[in-house]
């Protein structure tokens, strides 16, 4: 891992083009693991993801679903889409609490190390019969972060399976570096706007359906190719994505203002560490 000083010359207002992007997977050290097993660390390093991990009890999962149901009702009533609840930890104290939950941070720390910043929280909610899909992509292509050393925790609000459009992974694709993508076409009905073509050719095995029960979570590398199909079922499929990186990583486009230091320290002060919002 490069030292934080290597990236400190960038101003906080740096654009995506200004950032000296570095794309390379940094494997976790099984000798430093506290919560995950050596086998789990090995799987993450070789495959690029871990799933499933039990995070919430059945009672906690049901309570969180009720909370999201109410939040979604307010969002739709305001004329916004089910995908629009983004950077939620800066607006909603309940989401901030989930983002900083020690049960999640303990697992992330085994993959990223001792100094961790949480910077993203986004509900990805596919309503029943939603024709939108998520094309094969790498998270790192969207994020003005360098070096690429980030983990996404996908916490299931609803049960997610192949029928309602669960996430899919291409194992081993995180070892291919940064991949060329094209702008998605309208015919793809992509929730995002990037598509990596011939994505399966970058994997080391068959595509994996990320089937999760509510309260379970998966973790994946920012370089792993992943996506999801449309929700053709009569059931909703919602997950809360929680994004983490190390405090040594540098962010452009003022994204450092979103970052909450959740473990260790940020000696450089690059990440702004906003407080928990009081209001919902």
Q: What is the DSSP string of 212-251?
A: B-TTEEEEEETTS-EEE----SSS-EEEEEEEEEETTSEE
pLDDT value at residue 22: 87
Minimum mean pLDDT range among 2-6, 74-78, 129-133, 164-168? 2-6
CB 229 within 8 A of CB 168: yes
Peptide bond into 147 cis (omega under 30): yes
d(CA 61, CA 54): 11
d(CA 32, CA 232): 43
Single pTM value for the model: 0.92
d(CA 181, CA 194): 6
d(CA 232, CA 106): 36
pLDDT value at residue 25: 96
Sorting pLDDT into bands at 50, 70 and 90, what band is 48?
A: very high
Maximum distance among all alpha carbons in the chain? 51
Sorting pLDDT into bands at 50, 70 and 90, what band is 20?
A: low
pLDDT value at residue 21: 78
For 157-178, write each residue's pLDDT tens digit: 999 999 999 999 999 999 999 9
CA distances from 108 to 112, 186, 279 (A): 6, 36, 27
* Residue 74 pLDDT exceeds 80: yes
* Residue 181 pLDDT exceeds 50: yes
For 199-215, write each residue's pLDDT tens digit: 999 999 999 999 999 99
For 248-273, write each residue's pLDDT tens digit: 999 999 999 999 999 999 999 999 99
pLDDT value at residue 279: 77
* Residue 13 pLDDT exceeds 70: no
What are the beta bridge partners of residue 208? 169
Give the residue-averaged pLDDT of 237-246.
98
Burial classification of residue 134, based on how many CB atoms lie within 10 Å of its CB (0-12 exposed, 13-18 middle, 19 or more buried): buried
Q: Where are the alpha helices (DSSP H) in the chain?
A: 38-47, 58-77, 93-99, 102-112
3-state secondary structure of 126: strand
* β-pairing verdict for 182-183 and 237-246: unpaired
Contacts of 199 (CB under 8 A, 6+ apart): 136, 170, 173, 225, 227
Domains and CATH numbers, the chain: 4-263 (2.60.120.620)
Sorting pLDDT into bands at 50, 70 and 90, what band is 3?
A: very low
d(CA 126, CA 149): 28
d(CA 82, CA 15): 28
């Amino acid at each position: 891992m490069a030292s934080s000083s290597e990236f400190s010359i960038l101003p906080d207002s740096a654009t995506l083009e200004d950032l000296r992007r570095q794309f390379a997977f940094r494997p976790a050290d099984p000798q430093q693991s506290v919560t995950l097993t050596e086998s789990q660390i090995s799987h993450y390093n070789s495959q690029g993801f871990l799933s499933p991990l039990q995070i919430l009890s059945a009672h906690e999962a049901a309570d969180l679903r009720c909370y999201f149901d109410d939040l979604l009702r307010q969002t739709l009533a305001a004329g916004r889409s089910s995908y629009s609840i983004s950077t939620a930890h800066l607006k909603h104290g309940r989401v901030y609490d989930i983002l900083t939950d020690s049960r999640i941070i303990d697992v992330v720390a085994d993959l990223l190390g001792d100094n961790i910043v949480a910077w993203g929280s986004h509900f990805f909610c596919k309503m029943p019969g939603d024709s939108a899909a998520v094309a094969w992509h790498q998270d790192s292509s969207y994020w003005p972060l360098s070096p690429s050393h980030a983990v996404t925790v996908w916490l299931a609000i609803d049960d997610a399976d192949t029928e309602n459009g669960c996430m899919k992974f291409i194992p081993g694709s995180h070892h291919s570096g940064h991949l060329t993508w094209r702008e998605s076409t309208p015919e793809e009905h992509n929730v995002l706007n990037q598509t990596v073509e011939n994505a399966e050719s970058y994997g080391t095995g068959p595509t994996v359906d990320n089937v999760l029960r509510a309260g379970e979570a998966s973790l994946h590398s920012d370089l792993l190719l992943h996506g999801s199909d449309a929700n053709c079922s009569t059931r909703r499929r919602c997950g809360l994505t929680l994004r983490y990186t190390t405090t040594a990583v540098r962010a452009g486009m003022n994204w450092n203002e979103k970052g909450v230091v959740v473990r260790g320290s940020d000696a450089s002060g690059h990440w702004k560490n906003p407080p928990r919002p009081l209001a919902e």
